[in-house]
Structure formats: C-alpha cells, structure tokens
Amino acid sequence: MNALAMQQIKKQYSHFQLSLESLELPTGSIMGFIGANGAGKSTTLRMLMGLIQPDSGSIEVLGKPLPKHADQVKWDIGYISEDMRLYPQATLEWHMNWIRSIYPVWDENYAKHLLKSFDLQAKQKLKGFSHGQRVKATILLALARRPKLLMLDEPTTGLDPIARSEVLTELMAVLADEERSILFSSQNTLDVEQISDQIAFIDRGRLVGASNKEDYLDRWRKLRLEVPVGVQLPQLPEVVSSNGEGRLVIITTNQYSRTLEAKYNAIGANVLHTDTMSLEEIFVANVQHMRRNAA
Amino acid sequence: MNYFLVQKLIYKDWYFQRPTVLGSVLLGFLALLLVGLQNSIWFTAGSILLLTVIIAFGGILATSLVVGERSTQTRLFILSLPISMREYTTAKMISSLLIFLIPWTAFLISSYILITNQAALPDGFFAFVLVVLLELLLNYCLLLSISVITESQGWASFGIIVGNLTLNAFIFYVGSLPDIKTAIASSSMVWNSTLTTILLLEVMVILALLSVTFYVQSRKKDLI
C-alpha cells in the first residue's frame, strides 16, 4: 500500500508550471525528494498536505483522496517546512502543551526524549532559539504526535553538522515502525543519500526520475574510455552524456550493465575504469540530460 | 466544522493578545477619566484619546492576528494542523471580533455609566456615543475583512487609512444632523428615527462585511 500517490498533477502559476505524471511512496519507506531551488518541491509537498489544490490530477494520502479529506488526513501527518515558524513570544513548553491539547496521541515520554536528545530548553521562548534549535523544536512538535506520515520540506537546510546529524538520527528512528513513512525534500543530496530508500528528482516543475535508491546507484555509472585514433563511438541509447575529446572520453550511463563495457570493447575502445556515482552526480547528470532532451 | 480545533485557535489568539487588550483597556479608562473631569479641554482630550485607543487597538489586532501570521510565517504552522479554510476563517473572525469587543464593550458600558451619572453631560449624548462606537466597530470589521481576504500589510494599511478618513467625515456629518443634535442635547435618551436608522445601517454593514469575508474565503482553493 502507498502512503501517498499523485497522478497526472498539473498546477499553473503565472511564471511556473508544475506537472507531475506519477509519484508514489510505499508505506514504511523514506523518500528523498531532490530538486534545485524553485523546482517545485515545496509546491508538491503543500499539495500533498491539501494546502494547495492542483488544477487537475488526483492525490491520495494515507488511502484518502485530497483535497476532499485533507482535514481528516492531516491528523496523521507531521508537516515541517523550512518556511514554518513557531510563535516567538511563547516558550517551547507552551507550544508542546498546546499541541498536546489538540492531539490525543501526543507521546509525552517521546517528547521528553526528543527534548533531551535535541538539547532544547522547554521553558525558553522561541525568540531566543537559534535557527537549528527552532528547526529541532518544530520537528519535536511533529514527531511527538506520532504521525503515520512525515512530510519534511528542507528540514536540514541551514543546520550545522551536529544538528543535522541529530535530526537525521531521529528521522531514522521513526522508521523503526514499519507503518510510518517519510517524504523528505532537500537540496542536500548527502542527507538524502544517508537516510532515504526511495529517490525522486524534480526539475523545473517536472519529475525527472523516481526510483529505489539502490536502483539509481546501480544503474548510473561513469565509464572512462581510452579511444584509439580512428575509432568512432556509437550513439547508444543507454548513454546519457559523453564528455572529453581526443583519446580520453568519459561516458555517463543510466542503464549500466557489463554488456555496455563489452559493446565499447567490441569497437576497439578500451574501458579504463567504471566508477560508481554519488547521488549528487546522478542528480546533476539526470537533470542535464532531461534539459538537453527537452531543448 | 471541528469546533474543538476552532476553540483551540481562538484560545491561542487570545493568549497572545492579552497584553494588548490590557494595555488598551487601561488607556481607555484613562481617557474616560479625563472625559469625566467636567472640564471642556479634558473632555476633548479624553474623547480623542479614547477614539485613538480603539482605532490603534483595532489596527494592531487585525495586523498582528491576521496579516502578522503570514509575515511571521506562523500561519504555515497553524495550517499544518488538521483544519480547513472554513475553520481557520471562523476561528480568526471569532477571535478577532471577541478580543476587539472586550475593550469596546468595557468602553461602551463605562461611557453609559459616566454619561448617566454626570450632571454636566446630557443623557442623550450616550446615543451619539453608541453611534460612534458602532462606527468604530464597523471600521474594525472592514479592516478585519480586508486583512483576512488579502493577508496583505499594504491592503491592511489602506483599510486603516480609509477607516480613519471615513470616521472623521462620519462624526462630522452625523453630529451635524438636526435629529442627532436634538438627541445629544436631550436630558433623557431619545431614539428618534434618524438615530435608529443609522444604528441599523451600521449593524447591517457589519453583517454584510462578515458575510462577504466568509463567502470569499470559502471560494479560495489554496490555503497558502
């Protein structure tokens, strides 16, 4: 079963169009939603929260269609956004008490555990919090209500390495319960690579790829070729880009298999190295490939 | 409609506005004290102070409760809770109105007690005070509607300017009407047809403003 599913989504703004064919997150998974600034990550997450309605298409979250059941579904969603602020004039304790009074499922022991592990002072007013403390306070308020689905819009942006590590550790702990799922948008591919098992790339309002993380890491490779004079490299469908002139050429592929190496060897090129790619390299190569195709 | 959540949002707004309410009530009572000093200069100063307190309180309230939630980005936190636009609007309108009505009602009652117990002030003057206070409530509702619908600081400022300009013109115009002059000067309260028509019109405009706000909000597709 899917924690969320979007099909044929379109949303038109004056200078931006979001157009997503299909995005699904299986229950119990953590999906990293990667895209540059303005790619449409926040708009997508806000649609999944029922805060924005698409012009067309269908959205289902936790088995219920949106926006019709948005209010009902939001009881089971913990949503955190980089743009979200708590009330600066109130203490974290006030926020915790207020949220606890709304959510009967609030887990006080877990909240106390998070307070300690995030090193937050409950009696301190939010206006005295640093950016990192504010983000951790927002995450605490979302996690302690034990949501079935966490939607995090760039939660680690601007966090120092220690705060980032604390946040990622707690997010990983959430997934100890197999019924919980996380959609995690970020520009930081390192964070995503660390904790996600599903990856989706978005660029200029379009989904340019969505798959299992291991699939991505397995399929994408860089091949360093030595090409003798007179040998012409063929245009292969599995090749995404080819860089370099003269004897040394670097091939990027999104459908790697041993047969690709064999194909190059067969025409006289020498495969010097086959390198794995980081998620960041895959993201950049994928986006550039899609942009070239679109042009 | 989830009344439980609406109630929680109203409580939250009240919690954050308590210092503003207290400050405005104290300043308002100071103004009424000046009005009661039986001296024309203090009477004028007190009246101006009272009007200023109510106008400023309304302005602060509408901008901080509605526009401020957007500019300080706390609105997204609220909208992440399981509420609909209808519930959010209902909570915002109720809390904004109730909080404004606390000092407004205190000033209305105090004015009544002051006027009916001051020999120097004719009891009929209270009818005029009621008309002016209702106009202030109307102006506040206009500002509230603009703020809720547009969520824009610019439009809210425009609403405050329009409200102030129309208030001055309104007091000048209504105060010059013969029937109102008669009512003000009367030793007992007179509810003539001019007075009741004005009061009725004010109430109708207030209701229309609130209805339009709910209608426009209900048609909004996006919460942010």
| The pLDDT value given to residue A22 | 92
A44 in contact with B at a CB cutoff of 8 Å? no
| The pLDDT value given to residue B1 | 84
Q: Which of B63, B56, B75, B76 is nearest to B153 (CA)?
A: B63
Q: Report, as ranges of residue numbers, the positions in chain A whose pLDDT lies below 50.
A: none
Residues of A in contact with B87 (CB under 8 A): 71
Q: B76–A83: do the CB atoms touch at under 8 Å?
A: yes
Which residue among A53, A88, A94 places its CB closest to the CB of B221?
A53
| The pLDDT value given to residue B188 | 86
- What's the rounded Cα separation, in Å, for the pair B92 and B94? 6
From chain A residues 51-70, the ones with a CB under 8 A of any chain B CB are 51-53, 70
Q: A52–B222: do the CB atoms touch at under 8 Å?
A: yes
Burial B62-94 (b: 16+ CB within 10 A, else e): bbbbbbbbbeeebbbbbbbbbbbbbbbbbbbbe
- Cα A130 → chain centroid: 25
A13 in contact with B at a CB cutoff of 8 Å? no
Contact A178, A151 (CB under 8 A): no
CA triple A186-A188-A189, angle to 5 deg: 100
Give the residue range(s) of CATH 3.40.50.300 domains in chain A: 2-210
* Per-residue CA distances from A15 to A11, A48, A205, B196, B215 (Å): 11, 21, 11, 53, 28
| The pLDDT value given to residue A139 | 93
- Tens digit of each residue's pLDDT (9 = 90 or more) over A41-95: 999 999 999 999 999 999 999 999 998 899 899 999 999 998 899 999 999 999 9
Backbone CA torsion sign across B39, B44, B46, B47: positive
- Cα B30 → chain centroid: 19
Report residue A147: phi and psi, to 5°: -75, 155
Q: What is the pTM of this model?
A: 0.86
Residues of B in contact with A81 (CB under 8 A): 76, 80
Q: A101–B8: do the CB atoms touch at under 8 Å?
A: yes
| The pLDDT value given to residue A88 | 94
Residue with tokens 């592929």: A253
- Please give the CATH superfamily to which domain A2-210 belongs: P-loop containing nucleotide triphosphate hydrolases (3.40.50.300)
Residue with tokens 């439009």: B155
Contact B115, B123 (CB under 8 A): yes
| The pLDDT value given to residue B32 | 87
Strands (E), chain A: 2-12, 17-26, 30-35, 56-61, 64-66, 77-81, 149-153, 181-186, 198-203, 206-212, 221-226, 239-243, 248-253, 270-276
| The pLDDT value given to residue A16 | 92
Residues of A in contact with B12 (CB under 8 A): 98
Residues of A in contact with B76 (CB under 8 A): 81, 83-85
Q: How far B72 CA sits from the closest chain A CA (Å)?
A: 7
Count of residues making up chain A = 295
Q: A52–B72: do the CB atoms touch at under 8 Å?
A: no
In tens digits, what is the pLDDT along chain B, a chain of 224 residues? 889 999 999 999 999 999 999 999 999 889 888 888 878 888 888 888 988 999 999 999 998 998 888 888 899 999 999 998 889 999 999 999 999 999 999 989 988 988 888 888 888 889 999 999 999 999 999 999 999 999 888 999 999 998 888 998 999 999 899 999 888 888 888 888 999 999 999 999 999 999 999 999 988 888 87
- Cα A133 → chain centroid: 22
Contact A53, B221 (CB under 8 A): yes
| The pLDDT value given to residue B42 | 87
